[in-house]
């Protein structure tokens, strides 16, 4: 019984990143937020959100640290459906970025 309880205490379910609507993202960008499309270059060749910075998720944390972006800067992540943006947001939070959100619905 104790083994079951101990297992239940550690959830393997990933944390969900706060999401914003595309309209909110547009307004936030006008106030200085960074909109970052984290899809791979082959995917963005088909199109991407207007005004987004193109930084693939595999290099996102390293690239934002290299750019010395203030870790309190609002960052809005967008991908195709929102799955990768959630994982990328968790990586950014672990690196100290405190204002990361995902754009609902992807692009």
**Residue 96 DSSP symbol:** T
Of 25, 13, 6, nearest to 104 (Cα)? 25
Of 33, 79, 92, 103, the active-site residue reads 79
Known catalytic membership, residue 29: no
Instruction: Go through 57-83 and write b for each residue having 16 or more CB atoms within 10 A of its CB, e for each that does not.
Output: beebbeebeeeeeebeebbbbbbeebe
Which active-site residues does the annotation give?
A: 79
């Amino acid at each position: 019984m104790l083994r079951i309880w101990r297992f239940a205490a550690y959830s393997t379910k990933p944390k969900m990143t706060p999401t914003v609507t595309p309209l909110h993202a547009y307004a936030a960008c006008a106030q200085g937020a960074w909109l970052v499309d984290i899809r791979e270059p082959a995917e963005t060749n088909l199109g991407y959100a207007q005004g987004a910075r193109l930084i693939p998720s595999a290099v996102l944390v390293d690239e934002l640290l290299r750019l010395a972006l203030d870790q309190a800067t609002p960052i809005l992540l967008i991908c195709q459906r929102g799955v990768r943006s959630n994982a990328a947001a968790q990586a950014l939070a672990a690196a100290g970025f405190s204002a990361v959100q995902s754009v609902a619905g992807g692009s």
